[in-house]
Amino acid sequence: MNIGVPLETAPGETRVAVTPETAKKLKAQGHTVRVQSGAGVAASAPD
């Protein structure tokens, strides 16, 4: 499965749909994870 994680653009939103730890687990299960550049910055998970 291909999983995409977009950058959140709503004002004041700091959450991200997938954490780095979750992305690693998904990849280990054989999924493809694509994260838009900067998606985790507001959640303290930079590129």
Q: Where are the domains of the chain?
A: 2-43
Q: How far is CA 47 from CA 1, 44, in A?
A: 22, 10
| pLDDT score for 44 | 87
As a whole number, mean pLDDT of residues 29-33 equals: 98
pTM passes above 0.85: no
As a whole number, mean pLDDT of residues 17-42 equals: 95
Q: How far apart are CA 10 and CA 1, in angstroms?
A: 27
| pLDDT score for 47 | 84
Quick check: 46 pLDDT over 90? Answer: no
Q: How far apart are CA 31 and CA 29, in angstroms?
A: 6
Give the DSSP H or E segment for 33: strand 32-35
